[in-house]
């Protein structure tokens, strides 16, 4: 995942989180077709779940409304993909192999990706971060496709191949409650601690090993001068660092969205 999010909004989030809140704990149930998430509060009686919808999914009590607390949106600012962020308090079934690969594919080939890569390639060329690529239109093209392949490699290893092999969940489960520091530390921690497909806590091998594998594979298409152990290690650390920053922004996005756009 490339850094599609600015870090500055985190400072805004700190201000708007000055007033703490403790909403009711929410339990979520996902319909059989994984298309609809239904929420009920934890105070609801068990027998209130006996009624089911036409497809067999539990129905919430008629007097319960879906909470807005900690709710993620499919896109950030209607553009940036946010497909694998899970709203606070939500419990979902384990990801399927297909689901993990689809997450990686959506993050790699979403229309916003091509725009972002174009901007990044321009910045890298202006800084001459890889002098071997040169300048002009041809040089820009080299920066562009290298950045695009870098992102796709990392997405597929971190969100697809390694989670399938290691049976780990690639989704970001929003904390949504507590102070700014607590939630920030939680988001950073998710770069190294994740949940397995069986919902147990595990070291995030998918992130660490996947990001390292992507950095190593980049040596296949980068110029010889960029294939040193130092350069490879730098790309590895950068991959993990960017993913952690993205998760931090995801944690506070529901608050920013609510306070700025009242959604």
- What is the domain partition of the chain in residue ranges? 94-261
Residue 221 — φ and ψ, nearest 5°?
-125, 0
Condensed to tens digits (0 to 9), the pLDDT of residues 134-153 reads 999 999 999 999 999 999 99
Contact (Cβ atoms closer than 8 angstroms) between residue 13 and residue 253: no
CA dihedral in degrees (59, 60, 66, 67; nearest 10)? Answer: -130
Smallest CA-to-CA distance from 103 within 60, 162, 46 is with: 162
Residue 244 CB partners (closer than 8 Å, separation 6+)? 187, 188, 190, 191
pTM of the model: 0.71
Asked if residues 72 and 87 have their Cβ atoms less than 8 Å apart, the reply is: yes
102, pLDDT greater than 70? yes
pLDDT tens readout for residues 179-218: 999 999 999 999 999 999 998 999 999 999 999 999 999 9
CA distances from 77 to 5, 44, 117, 225, 231 (A): 10, 34, 18, 39, 34
243 Cβ contact partners less than 8 Å away, ≥ 6 residues apart: 1, 158, 191, 207, 211
Which positions ≥6 away from 36 have C-beta within 8 Å?
Answer: 30, 57
Q: Please, what is the angle between helix 205-217 and helix 136-155, to 10°?
A: 150
CA distances from 131 to 21, 73, 135, 183, 228 (A): 51, 40, 8, 40, 15
> Which pLDDT score is estimated for 40?
38
């Amino acid at each position: 995942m490339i850094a599609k999010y600015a870090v500055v909004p985190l400072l805004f989030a700190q201000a708007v989180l000055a007033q703490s809140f403790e909403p009711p704990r929410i339990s979520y149930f996902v319909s059989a077709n994984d298309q609809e998430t239904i929420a009920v509060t934890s105070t609801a009686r068990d027998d209130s779940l006996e009624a089911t919808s036409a497809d067999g999914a539990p129905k919430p009590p008629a007097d319960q409304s879906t909470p807005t607390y900690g709710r993620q949106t499919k896109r950030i600012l209607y553009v940036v993909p946010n497909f694998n962020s899970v709203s606070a308090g939500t419990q979902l079934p384990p990801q399927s192999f297909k689901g993990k690969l689809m997450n990686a594919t959506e993050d790699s080939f979403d229309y916003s990706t091509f725009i972002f890569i174009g901007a990044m390639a321009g910045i890298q060329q202006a800084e001459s971060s890889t002098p071997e690529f040169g300048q002009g239109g041809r040089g820009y093209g080299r920066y562009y496709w290298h950045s695009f392949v870098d992102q796709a490699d990392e997405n597929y290893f971190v969100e697809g191949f390694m989670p399938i092999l290691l049976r780990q969940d690639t989704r970001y489960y929003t904390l949504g409650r507590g102070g700014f520091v607590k939630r920030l530390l939680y988001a950073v921690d998710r770069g190294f601690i994740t949940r397995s497909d069986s919902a147990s806590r595990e070291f995030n091998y998918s992130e660490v090993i996947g990001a390292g594998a992507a950095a190593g594979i980049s040596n296949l298409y980068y110029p010889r001068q960029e294939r040193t152990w130092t350069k490879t290690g730098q790309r590895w650390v950068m991959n993990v660092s960017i993913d952690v920053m993205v998760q931090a922004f995801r944690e506070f996005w529901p608050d920013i969205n609510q306070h700025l756009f009242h959604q």
